[in-house]
Structure 1
């Protein structure tokens, strides 16, 4: 599956991912000690929702546009973050994960971004101009291992690949196992698209067999029954989520599910412990 950020900016998966990232980082920031935020597949940093790539799919209409139309106050922080890169109320631009993370930085925190694709890396540097962030252009999995443990007492690694390579999931599993051996208490967020339920179940079982404790799975299926051959939703694996995040998670998930449910479908958005 090829999931280049520019074609899917602001879709339902982005809404869930970024709303949960905000909640996760803020839960970690209840403590004063410094955080390093690391994004291994940072993309372009910001996206034009009226550009050719985004218009070709039109997925933002079922994502950020729905989130802006929802009245639920639990989505207010997400909407505020999107508005920060827009001049008006309507979202014409969409911030990628680097811009969401940059808004959460405190004086003691650090932001490390990586994008291997040359054109996207150039766009990322432009999007992050004036923002205190280190931008790398390296293999994402090499960087992931090289950057952990971070210099700060705590940190978060966000892994959000386009799933262009057939071995992407295997590389994630192998690198996660190695990173966990180096940094057992670190927080890791792994995003993935949902297309084939059986294939996903096999990957989930492979990750479960790694034996990493405190391993949370958040899964969003858009439709009440699988739609063969198309994008059916997305999810996150979260290693070592903080207690404050998990305690407040279920109401946020319900707000997101309600806002993003396609016409005629309720969908499901749930969290379960893969390993605990």
Structure 2
């Protein structure tokens, strides 16, 4: 159950898609002054060393964020520029040693004056210990909390979110389990259904791997059906870097992001950024991208 470690995959193409989408979503949500409750159900360690044993062993960042480092300025469209700037802010000038996970990206953008709050959950004992230590260095006080709990279950107690100082309720939830177990796909569906029942106006982001497994291909289709049933808008984006030619390539080559109640500004940003990512990260047969929306 605890074999998955995101440190092996930090900064890969899937992280690029996930975190570029996350940052663009956060930017839009923060246009309103009211505070937001952020939840990361599978937070990982929070920070990763790209020059560490785990990342260097897999080498996945080389086909992800590190491949974008030398991208010419005129090809860095708005969302991509924002993403690369975020990663750079965690490193010394010219360095690419540290990669920020979702918890640190969210925390970096949180607004003290709005009283934003971040709830982090991680079950893996080693990653939970690392996450706790990394968050403690921020000295963020009560604005960020870390718990070793099942994020799917813990989320239920957080929705609907508490009323903010302005009298409104706002929440954004990121759900990105490892999908090591095929039951994770069903748990995501059950979780989203429960979330919409508890707090229908929240913004929900689901990351998933695109792999040759029926559950992986069924997940976005079932999420679309669920959104249609409850009359909620959705956005579905995918990025495939294709298979490398001339070698054994069995790693993840594609992933997707599914959002419920997405910002209206997100689709044009992704339509602009994903062609650049395909061109920059694409390796061979099967590469491509897509953005669709409905509701």
Q: TM-score, with normalisation over the residues of structure 1? A: 0.91
Q: Is 2:284 the counterpart of 1:268?
A: no
1:180 and 1:115 map into 2 onto residues whose CA distance is 22
Instruction: Output the CA distance in 1 between the equivalents of 2:251 and 2:59.
Output: 15
Q: Does residue 158 in structure 1 map to residue 174 in structure 2?
A: yes
Task: Work out whether 1:254 is the aligned partner of 2:275.
Answer: yes
Contact 2:175 2:207 in 1 (8 A): yes
Pairwise CA RMSD: 2.2
- Residue 219 of structure 1 corresponds to 238
- SS of alignment partner, residue 9 of structure 1: coil
- Cα 1:142/1:197, change in 2 over 3 Å: closer
Deviations 1:72-127 (A, max 9, x none): 23222212211222123121111111111111111211111111112111110111
Q: Given the alignment of the two structures, is residue 106 of structure 1 paired with residue 111 of structure 2, yes or no?
A: yes
Cα offset, 1:265, TM superposition: 5.4
| Structure 1: stretches of 5+ with no match in the other structure | none
CA distance in 2, matches of 1:202, 1:243: 25
The answer for the alignment partner of 2:223 in structure 1 is: 207
Q: 1:32 to 1:149 in 2, by over 3 A?
A: same
**Equivalent residue, structure 2, for 1:68:** 69
Checking the alignment, whether the CA contact within 8 Å between 1:195 and 1:230 is kept in structure 2 is: no
- 2:254 aligned to which of 233, 237, 249: 233
1:1-53 CA distance string (max 9 Å, x none): 97531110010111111111111110111222211111010000111112221
Q: Is the 8 A contact 2:185 2:215 kept in 1?
A: no
Per the alignment, residue 155 of structure 2 pairs with: 144
- Given that 2:182 and 2:215 are in contact with CA atoms closer than 8 Å, whether structure 1 keeps it comes out as no
In the TM superposition, residue 167 of structure 1 has moved relative to its aligned partner by: 0.5
Work out the CA distance in 1 between the residues paired with 2:90 and 2:55: 17
> What is the Cα deviation at residue 187 of structure 1?
0.4
Match of 1:123 among 109, 130, 146: 130
Q: 1:13 aligns to what?
A: 14
Q: Which runs of 5+ in 2 are unaligned?
A: none
Equivalent residue pairs, number:
273
Runs of at least 4 residues of structure 1 off by over 6 A? none
Q: Do 1:224 and 1:268's aligned partners in 2 also have CA atoms closer than 8 Å?
A: no
What is the aligned partner in structure 1 of residue 39 from structure 2?
Answer: 38
Alpha-carbon displacement from aligned partner over 1:174-219 (angstroms, at most 9, x marks no partner): 1110111111111000111111175433233332332342121111
Shift of residue 232 of structure 1? 2.2
| Contact 2:63 2:281 (8 Å CA) reproduced | yes
The alignment's TM-score, normalised by the length of structure 2, stands at 0.85
